[in-house]
Structure 1
Amino acid sequence: MANATSVNPLRAPLRRLIDAWTQVRLLEPASEDLGLDPDLPTLYVLPRSSLSDGLLLEVLARRQGLPDATMPRQLGERTLPAQLSLPTTRRRLWQRRKRSRSPFQSVIEAHRDTGCDIQLVPVSIFWGRAPGKRFGFWQLLAADSWRLTGRLRRLLAVMVNGRDLEVHFGAPLRLAELDDGREPSLTDRKAARLLRVHFRRMRSRVLGPDLSHRRTLIEGVARSEPVRRAIAEQAGQSPRLRARLTKRARRYGREIASSMSYPVMRFLDGVLRRLWNRLYDGVDARGLDSIKALAGEHTLVYVPCHRSHIDYLLLSYVLYTQGLMPPHIAAGRNLDMPLIGPLLRRGGAFFMRRSFRGQPLYSAVFKEYLHRLLNRGHPLEYFIEGGRSRSGRMLPPRPGMLSMTLDSFLRSQREGGQSLVFVPVYIGYERILEEASYQRELAGGRKRKESPLALLRIVRRLREPHGRVALNVGEPLSLSDFLDRAQPDWRSATSPGEEAPDWKRTAVTELGETLTRRINAAASLNPVNLVALGLLATPHHAIEATLLERHLTLLVELGRENAAALPSGEPGDWIEQTQALGMLKYQPHALGDLVTADPAQATLLGWYRNNVLHLYALTGLTAFAFRHQARQSLDDLERLLAPSWPVLMREFAIAPPASFRKALADTLERLAAQGLLERDAEAWRRTDSLTGEEQLRMLGRLMQPPLERGYLLLSVLLNEAPGHFTHDALTERTRQLAERLARLTGRDSPEFFDARLFAGLVQSLEAEGWLRTREGRLYYGSRLREGARRGQTLFDPALRHRLQRIARHTEA
């Protein structure tokens, strides 16, 4: 295609052929979102001269109602082509390197002669992008990649990948904003430079960085300075040992490194498309526009919550369908099994051992491999929780991968690398594949080792209903901006070869907590977890259908401000959908239909309730305060709840409000707006409505389990002198008492006495300064005693007596 769309008798029939043959799989943004000024002339800019791209652009402009891409523009005495392409350096075997004339000089001169502004719209077209849509030799050969393609290959791309097209329109550039009055050649170079940067970022966003050959990458890792230093420290002066360790480093590299393969990614795309259509009713993806704005310019690190093995596949699939490069994924070595491991490795997974302790060479190889991925701009994905959540709640973040990412970022900044942005992702299911194994493990069963046979057993469940999936992107976090706030002098804090800075551990801890809060903040509500919130808040997991419907309406209204999305339909539809998934029983009755859950269903519903319980933490805590006190002033409530709230925020990974008092007052107003509380002079009191009182009680029961766990732990701790317990001893003793309480009260909920919850509770008390550790022992003072005393008043006398009786079983 020439820079001017000259008259060509073949152009019209070729355009009709392109129109009939091609099909665009993804086109963004929509024409109405492009922001074009209809009163200004529009010129389209392509990254290279291509007849096929030009014809397709003409077709798309007509289809989308965009300014015509065929007819030249007349500005004064100058005629400008509707399409331009960036100048390139052409080389022929028989000619010297020749640079084509820039197309922008005539445009700049026309702008200056007429004073009319001109819009330049960059257009990126991908014919069967390299991580492809379908598997096949010809599709692979003809797919777009980072290499420039010749005419024969472009013709093949049109023939083979004509129905696998992605088109991305860039934001229009105004020539008046680019032209600063200097020589036209300078403005010309400025426009070309800006457009080249745009096209390069777009190709990086869609295709990812150019993939290095795996063997070359592993060899580079083995020969890197950090790995050679680790080898030298172990080998000493022995050449033979040095050679053996070098071979071991290469073996470690082969064990770790992914082998991303375009054919395999094509195959996985086809398999996953069929899997989602068969397994789920649909995937609701939200917030991806924020990623598209960052991709190509920043290194992206996706940090999803980890609820299911499907998480690995779901995020990559959604990113691909939205025109983004799938990430390299950190996977546990337990998944590197026969058949499955090689497939995952070629789909972008790299494998890591559970622990690096006592393996300095393996640690050096893994860190160097990770650094090279990040430094080259490859998108990355890992789970900061470490493993899948068996309880359904967000687990405390593990420091390992975050620490290595921070080390790599500090090193890359010294080497002039690009910025790094974390992308928190919330994934919510209406039904997971692993529900049976989670129930077994929470009940005390051993975790079974992954194997191909175990995964094949899951195939039998593909015909069962699993509802929908939500994938929500949270607020991205720039690592440099985070460090500017947490450690303003971080850029000068370290030099090459220095030990890790003193502030690193604190920064990694704060980074992990910030990311978990942003993941939880992106949670959305679905029918299953709404029904779970309502049904499990009843004493015997049984409720009248009409009352449950009213309570679901209440939960939606109270969650509207915090949830990223709400379910469509009516409460009756949500109950019916949860029943279709096998998680409750609907019992018709002459005096009113009943909704019930047996013990197994209640345990399963608890997992889905825990996905979103954090959205109602402050609401539930406030409602619980009215359990046996009918009237409370705001001052009394603040004094009563302030000690418990920081601990609950840590347990549920909730971002702290700017003012707890204001957040509490807003919660009271919302409860009053729903008819559950009434304003009484300077205080609040329970409503006289029986329905309102029952709903307030159900809201309070949402926070009863964590408050009971905290009460038990404090009672056990205060029954002994400071320094009596170690961290593990206190955790295990309280877990045993919680299990005893669950059995005595008929509460079949294994997650209530999950040891990790008590371990996290002890860590929260330490973080808040209520406990301190000295020589492995836990010590407390008057602040803890006072907080425990005030917390006791939250419980009514009967419940307090029951908890105290359980706590007295503590052995000296």
Structure 2
Amino acid sequence: MIELQRLWHRLVSRVLDRWLAFRLVEPEPFALDATLPTFYVIARPSLTDELAVERLTRDLDLPGAGEWHSLDRALLPGCFALPRLRGSRGRIRGQHSAHLQQLLDALDNDTTLDAQLVPVSVFWSRAPGKDFGFWKMMAADDWAWSGRLRRLLSVAVNGRHLEAHFGEPIRLRPLIDDPAVTLTQRKVARVLRVHFRRIRARVLGPDISHHRTLMRGVVDSRPVQAAVLEAVAANRSTPAREHRRAERYAREIASNMSYPMLRFCYELLKRLWNRLYDGVDVHGLDAVKAIAGERTLIYVPCHRSHIDYLLLSYVLYREGLMPPHIAAGRNLDMPVIGALLRRGGAFFLRRSFKDNRLYAAVFNEYLHRLIARGHPLEYFIEGGRSRTGRMLSPRPGMLAMTLRSFARDAIRDVAFVPVYVGYERVLESNSYLRELRGGKKKKESPLDLLRVLKHLREPHGRVTVSVGEPLSLAGFLSETVPGWQDDPVSARPEWLSRAVPLLGETLARRINDAASLNAVSLVAMTLLATPHHTIESDLLANHIGLLVRLQKNLPGSQRCQLPTGEPADWIDQAVSLGFVTRQPQALGELITARPEQATLLTWYRNNVLHLFMHLGLVAFAFRNNAAFSLDDLDTLLSPAWPLLARELYFAPPNDPRERLASTLAALTEEGLLQATANGWRRQPGHLESSEHLRLLGQPVQPTLERAYLLLASLLRYPSGDLTREALEEHSRQLAERLTLLAGLNAPEFFDKRLFSGMLETLEQQGWLRVENEHLFYDDTLPRLQMRSRALFDPELRHRLVRLTHQ
């Protein structure tokens, strides 16, 4: 029997050997103990899976899956399937069911023997090849285990697009010898089944084949039925009519994700990105793969472009992860387009539904069921796209609904996955330029994405998708709002109002922590710090190289992704993308930006501004002060950290003095400062290092100017005289006036939300208190303002003081 089985394997293997090919293997490279008998375990009996694993082990130079091992008079194949349970009595049936038991018996009989099990999951083309079509879609894997006919179709159609996922090897001898463990076939099989199911959930996501069942469960749920009865009373309607309205809301909201559409979109998007970008760089997904299948994943990317969600779904699918269900505005639910988006995983929500309790109940129940079933989700915590390039203030809506859902059923942990998307050039450059120059924000339209596709032939450089540190929701709540489990069934628990803003701020910071530097952002950081947006080419190359070195060596910046290549290459890239212009000159080449180029560069500079605030604040202090001791500099700068951190969403240092010392050391090592017996001193003004220090400190100035305007305006009036609204508006008007007097076109400088954030920070730090919307302060705030005067040169300080007294 065994000889016939071997012969059959060899015959089929010869037929398939030249045909099978793997698109993705994880983890890679893979190392095993070659001294031990190695047995590869697959989830279900399948000759094609066995042959695929055999081919893979040869390609990776691993112990062969096609080998046979003789252990204690038992002859066992190198690859076999888990035993299958049949019937209500749990009887084990099938030829493959004996192999695992024989292996355990052999090791139990001979204590000198050892072996290792390696679980392998094989997927037959989640993604179609070059020519996607009906047969490729029908033949690929989903949650329904394929039969012989469908597997034959998979081999023929998708045999060159396989995926394989290895599990951690399991050494059996230590487990058998452990007196605390009674190792049986049932226990080993149970552990392996859990592993296979987790991998399958990670790759395919939860089963999405029961759309109607999910919809019926949402409408028939207790919260929705309670809302139906309320609507009957409020609208003087009938239960049947309100029940139909709930069903209509459910159809309006719900996605109808399908694997064929995901595969279709993957191939379509692959062609789009290859046409649009020079490359898509991905960082940090290993941490997500480690927890996928165990926790419900909620991706929270920054929102910079119309194509953010398309790009993230493509990257996840390409890297072997299930694309998420995506929250989309109802305005995208158009004929044809809306149906396609639903099949790709989009679910739709209205901009506001606080006055429609039935709709709110249906949406909340639908979201809860997605989360409880483990479906990966995606939504933008900023709400809309950032027109300034900065991280926008997180919106509370989806975060609050997610927290309520988790509190209702916290059996399965939720992990937020922050994602930073960095573009060298966005498709919406022209519209952003118009808005940065003061134009009105255009209302978003579903056709906007189609309009920007006309720019496909233009160069767009590279794009980076960088994943930040995942956040466990259970761990976050236990740390920030202890006792949150005490009120799990409340529709709006008391702790929610405290947890939502903290969660939003934490996620925004983690997104920014994963930021990436690229050629355009580096050139923008430097060029916009010059008075006339013109700089010598060699000085620009030296400075952007300095920025990368500082970012690489400064503590706390390990997650920042740095560009490859040399500074000269980065300048060439910025020129080729049309952001700057080379200007030949007899004494050396200049790099300059025209007014419209400089305006657009502010968007790209703002993407990464937060990465240089620790360096920039120290550099700015030395611009107008020749020397500092560590104590004096710490006293001067400590009040500024919370203001900068709140505005730009980076984590303020836990120990400001220690972080300050490391920043001074980094600047000294690069020659920008000189260490003395009493502290640090800036270099003489005629040296290039002095110019580098000035360029490094310039980007901090706008934030400090806004803070000075705010404090000066407040302190002109006695404590308690001004309301919050009046001070925000007055400060905004002063900031606008300052930009006009300086000849600048920078609407972001006088954004009212920035002043609102500053007031909230002053209140959190205890420098202000708010009573009935009026602002009260004590002597601490005037002293703070007097101390901050040392940061500004006399001319700038005089201009700001004159402005606030007009």
Q: Say whether the 8 Å CA contact 1:35–1:172 is kept in structure 2.
A: no
Aligned to 1:476: 470
Counterparts of 1:184 and 1:397, CA distance in 2: 49
Distance 1:263 1:144, change over 3 A: closer
| Residue type of the alignment partner of 2:351 | R
Greater alpha carbon shift after TM alignment, 554-563 vs 769-778: 769-778
Greater alpha carbon shift after TM alignment, 505-514 vs 283-292: 505-514
Report deviation, 1:25.
Answer: 0.9
Alignment of 1:510-521 (within 5 A): 510-521=502-513
Aligned to 1:716: 713
Report deviation, 1:778.
Answer: 2.7
Q: Is residue 660 of structure 1 aligned with residue 656 of structure 2?
A: yes
Distance 1:645 1:248, change over 3 A: same
Q: Say whether the 8 Å CA contact 1:26–1:165 is kept in structure 2.
A: yes
Distance 1:104 1:363, change over 3 A: same
Q: Is residue 197 of structure 1 aligned with residue 194 of structure 2?
A: yes
Alignment of 1:194-593 (within 5 A): 194-236=191-233, 240-413=237-410, 417-491=411-485, 493-496=486-489, 498-560=490-552, 561=554, 562=557, 564-593=560-589
Report deviation, 1:183.
Answer: 12
> What is the DSSP-based 3-state SS (H/G/I as helix, E as strand, rest coil) of the residue aligned with 1:350?
strand
Distance 1:143 1:229, change over 3 A: same
Distance 1:758 1:398, change over 3 A: same
Give a deviation string over 1:751-805, Cα, whole Å, max 9, x none.
2222332222222222222232222233333222222221122111100011112
Distance 1:503 1:98, change over 3 A: closer
Report deviation, 1:724.
Answer: 3.7
Report deviation, 1:77.
Answer: 3.1
Q: Say whether the 8 Å CA contact 2:438–2:745 is kept in structure 1.
A: no
Give a deviation string over 1:55-76, Cα, whole Å, max 9, x none.
1111111111010111211234
- Aligned counterpart for 1:646 among listed residues 642, 649, 652: 642
Give a deviation string over 1:310-348, Cα, whole Å, max 9, x none.
111011000000010000011122222344322222211
Counterparts of 1:653 and 1:366, CA distance in 2: 30
State the TM-score, normalizing by the size of structure 1.
0.94
Distance 1:5 1:752, change over 3 A: farther
Distance 1:302 1:133, change over 3 A: farther
Report deviation, 1:704.
Answer: 0.5
Report deviation, 1:645.
Answer: 1.1
Counterparts of 2:269 and 2:601, CA distance in 1: 27
- Aligned counterpart for 2:169 among listed residues 158, 169, 172: 172
- Structure 1 vs Structure 2: percent identity of aligned residues? 57
Give a deviation string over 1:373-415, Cα, whole Å, max 9, x none.
00000000111111111111111211111111111111112xx
> What is the DSSP-based 3-state SS (H/G/I as helix, E as strand, rest coil) of the residue aligned with 2:743?
coil
Report deviation, 1:369.
Answer: 0.6
> What is the DSSP-based 3-state SS (H/G/I as helix, E as strand, rest coil) of the residue aligned with 2:114?
coil
Counterparts of 2:216 and 2:39, CA distance in 1: 47
Greater alpha carbon shift after TM alignment, 385-394 vs 313-322: 385-394
Aligned to 1:15: 13
Q: Say whether the 8 Å CA contact 1:338–1:452 is kept in structure 2.
A: no
Structure 2: gaps spanning 5 or more residues: none
Q: Say whether the 8 Å CA contact 1:27–1:166 is kept in structure 2.
A: yes
| Residue type of the alignment partner of 1:784 | L
Aligned to 1:24: 22
Aligned to 1:600: 596
Q: Say whether the 8 Å CA contact 1:86–1:102 is kept in structure 2.
A: no
Distance 1:17 1:759, change over 3 A: farther
Counterparts of 1:538 and 1:580, CA distance in 2: 21
> What is the DSSP-based 3-state SS (H/G/I as helix, E as strand, rest coil) of the residue aligned with 2:18?
helix
Report deviation, 1:495.
Answer: 4.0
| Residue type of the alignment partner of 1:650 | R
Give a deviation string over 1:116-172, Cα, whole Å, max 9, x none.
221100010011238998643222322211112221111111112112211111110
Structure 1: gaps spanning 5 or more residues: none
Q: Say whether the 8 Å CA contact 1:134–1:266 is kept in structure 2.
A: no
Report deviation, 1:299.
Answer: 0.7
Counterparts of 1:315 and 1:525, CA distance in 2: 19
Report deviation, 1:532.
Answer: 0.6
Aligned to 1:684: 680
Greater alpha carbon shift after TM alignment, 635-644 vs 239-248: 239-248
Greater alpha carbon shift after TM alignment, 123-132 vs 538-547: 123-132
Number of residues of Structure 1 aligned to a counterpart in Structure 2:
798
Give a deviation string over 1:559-578, Cα, whole Å, max 9, x none.
11425221111111111110
Give a deviation string over 1:557-601, Cα, whole Å, max 9, x none.
111142522111111111111011111111011111111111111
Greater alpha carbon shift after TM alignment, 722-731 vs 460-469: 722-731
| Residue type of the alignment partner of 2:520 | V
Counterparts of 1:782 and 1:555, CA distance in 2: 39
Give a deviation string over 1:403-428, Cα, whole Å, max 9, x none.
11111111112xxx311111111111
Aligned to 1:159: 156
Greater alpha carbon shift after TM alignment, 599-608 vs 734-743: 734-743
Q: Say whether the 8 Å CA contact 1:132–1:266 is kept in structure 2.
A: no
Greater alpha carbon shift after TM alignment, 706-715 vs 659-668: 706-715
Greater alpha carbon shift after TM alignment, 279-288 vs 18-27: 18-27
> What is the DSSP-based 3-state SS (H/G/I as helix, E as strand, rest coil) of the residue aligned with 2:582?
strand
Q: Say whether the 8 Å CA contact 2:331–2:446 is kept in structure 1.
A: no
Counterparts of 1:28 and 1:276, CA distance in 2: 24
What RMSD in Å do the two structures reach over aligned CA positions? 2.3
Distance 1:795 1:106, change over 3 A: same
Report deviation, 1:656.
Answer: 2.6
Give a deviation string over 1:22-80, Cα, whole Å, max 9, x none.
221111112x4x34112111011010111111111111111110101112112343322
Alignment of 1:32-181 (within 5 A): 32=29, 34-89=30-85, 99-100=93-94, 101-114=97-110, 115-129=112-126, 135-179=132-176
Counterparts of 2:516 and 2:205, CA distance in 1: 30
Q: Say whether the 8 Å CA contact 2:425–2:460 is kept in structure 1.
A: yes
- Aligned counterpart for 1:781 among listed residues 762, 770, 778: 778
Report deviation, 1:727.
Answer: 3.1
> What is the DSSP-based 3-state SS (H/G/I as helix, E as strand, rest coil) of the residue aligned with 1:425?
strand
Greater alpha carbon shift after TM alignment, 556-565 vs 593-602: 556-565
Greater alpha carbon shift after TM alignment, 440-449 vs 203-212: 440-449
Aligned to 2:748: 751
Counterparts of 1:459 and 1:770, CA distance in 2: 50
Report deviation, 1:212.
Answer: 4.3
| Residue type of the alignment partner of 1:565 | Q
Q: Say whether the 8 Å CA contact 1:119–1:173 is kept in structure 2.
A: yes
Q: Is residue 188 of structure 1 aligned with residue 185 of structure 2?
A: yes
Q: Say whether the 8 Å CA contact 1:517–1:653 is kept in structure 2.
A: yes
State the TM-score, normalizing by the size of structure 2.
0.95
Q: Say whether the 8 Å CA contact 2:643–2:758 is kept in structure 1.
A: yes
Report deviation, 1:739.
Answer: 1.7
